[in-house]
Amino acid sequence: MVGKLELLLFFLQLWHVAMPNKTLEAVSHPIQQEIPFDSSSESNFPIQIGNKFYHIGINSKVNWYQAAHNCRKLGGNLLNIESSKEMDAILSQIPQDRYWISANCLARDRDFTSITTGEPMPFFRWHKGEPNNVHATEYCVEIKRTALNDEICVNKFNYICEAKIMY
């Protein structure tokens, strides 16, 4: 089952890259749409840092695929870290544990992209010696205490979702 999920995600990312720009814009536009913040939306994303709102999935350990799905159900996406400043702000808000983020290299080995944007990840702060792809099975990325680590996608961790406000 795990292999089928990874294969499905690979083909979805491949399809996303291969589509003509017009269709690609139509597919990616909802990801960046303004999120209406009524009282129910605010409860889903209670932490605001800059122009993003965050949901920290604590005590809800799931694999990377389920984490991505859970974030979409909440109206957001897995965290796409854009800068050192954003990563430091997030780290100050979370207990030291392990959290899935949007980065993965499922489409092309060691080419880390964001499932949130379909683009290469704009920022990385890896733990020393990472990414190391132990046993050639680590294709998803987690925040592990203070830095990033590549990890097996089916392992179960907490997750961080984001919702971006467009001005």
Higher pLDDT, 61 or 2: 61
Q: Which of 64-73, 90-99, 119-128 has the lowest mean pLDDT?
A: 90-99
DSSP string, the chain: -HHHHHHHHHHHHHHHHHS-HHHHHHHHGGGGSPPP--HHHHHHS-EEETTEEEEEEEEEEE-HHHHHHHHHHHTSEE-----HHHHHHHHHHS-SSEEEEEEE-SSSTT--EETTTSSB-S---BPTT----GGG---EEEEETTEEEEE-TTS-EEEEEEEEPP-
More confident residue, 99 or 167: 99
Residues of the chain with pLDDT > 90: what percent? 65
Can you give the pTM of this predicted structure?
0.75
Does residue 131 surpass a pLDDT of 50? yes
> Average pLDDT, whole number, for the chain?
82
Structural domains for the chain: 2-164 (3.10.100.10)
